[in-house]
Amino acid sequence: MAEMFHDDDADLSIIQSKTVAVIGYGSQGHAHALNLRDSGVNVVVGLREGSSSVARASEAGLSVKSVEEAVREGDVVTILAPDQVQAKVYEESIEPNLKPGAALLFAHGFNIHYGYIKPSADHDVIMVAPKGPGHVVRREFVAGRGVPVLVCVEQDASGQAWPLVLSYAKAIGGLRAGAIKTSFREETETDLFGEQNVLCGGLSKLIETGFEVLTEAGYQPEMAYFEVCHEMKMIVDLINEGGISKQRWSCSDTAEYGDYVSGPRVIDPHVKENMKAVLADIQDGTFAKKFMEDQAAGAPEFKKLRAQGEAHPIEATGRQIRALFAWSEDKDKDYHEGSVAR
């Protein structure tokens, strides 16, 4: 069983005695900065000149400075920029300005695990990774609750990295729910595996393929969308509430029986072997290298694949169906406005 930590295991005064420089103010950045601030921590947000986040962070009452200035003030430097730009930001703006002995904190281990960032031996290298998007981390904190977090120490230069990481986790609300002890390697490899095989890659392809099979067989696309996509949220919510067993218990006997006899026909042993191959690419760095090289070249493959995905027929059908639901209209509108600006 994993080792777990809760509020009583951490001393909040440790992080309260330090200045935390939060680099980035996106999904996780805004949640970390605001939760830390509300826990009595001195926070400075580091953003590049011209960042659209400067106004948002300033309006929230946070001190906003350049990345270089923020790093020079930070006893703890929390790096929350996107994976593909972290190494460049670290090399150009963070490393030259780090205080002696300053701790480096990450919410994902990608750049440390694969060696794109290599801190010197005199810095603690730690992780607090909330298992939820930033807006949920912030919302739950404000509500007096918390989102579970993963915590680990890659490099304990000070000899006090564990008390520090637990204090930080407590300050953002993570220990209210609980922290699981892990490692940079385990967090990175399992995170990428889950995204690629199940949560993103596996799920999206399963939905698209189901849609294709039904529409190619002559069924109306609207019917196909309802059956392979729309109802997915209901199923996932049930699993989230009580596991796969509750989901099966909640469905009809027909659906449950079909689950048992037909599920293994779709997700057959070949799928497991394919998943193992994806895991191997994650473990040996093949995926990381491919992703980073594509990003460095301007992301031509990434952009091509994104465009192909957005052009899939299920997307047009989905927009028509979601327009029928008043509670979904604003969310869909926000997505399309954001996608145009990407």
Q: How far apart are CA 33 and CA 39, in angstroms?
A: 10
Locate all alpha helices (DSSP H) within 25-92, ordered by sequence. Answer: 27-38, 53-59, 67-73, 83-89
13 is in an annotated binding site: no
26 is in an annotated binding site: yes
For the annotated catalytic residues, the residue numbers are 108
195 is in an annotated binding site: yes
Question: Tokens for 11?
Answer: 């001393």
Output the CA torsion sign for 113, 115, 121, 124.
negative
75 is in an annotated binding site: no
CB 62 within 8 A of CB 43: yes
48 is in an annotated binding site: yes
Locate all alpha helices (DSSP H) within the chain, ordered by sequence. Answer: 12-16, 27-38, 53-59, 67-73, 83-89, 110-113, 134-142, 161-171, 174-177, 184-194, 201-216, 221-225, 232-250, 253-266, 269-283, 286-296, 300-310, 313-322, 326-340
216 is in an annotated binding site: no
Give me the residue label for tokens 């300050």.
171
51 is in an annotated binding site: yes
231 is in an annotated binding site: yes
191 is in an annotated binding site: yes
SS3 at position 45: strand
Could you tell me which residues are annotated as the binding site for substrate?
252
Binding site for Mg(2+), by residue number, is 191, 195, 227, 231
- Binding-site members for NADP(+) are 25-28, 48, 51, 53, 134
Annotated binding-site positions: 25-28, 48, 51, 53, 134, 191, 195, 227, 231, 252
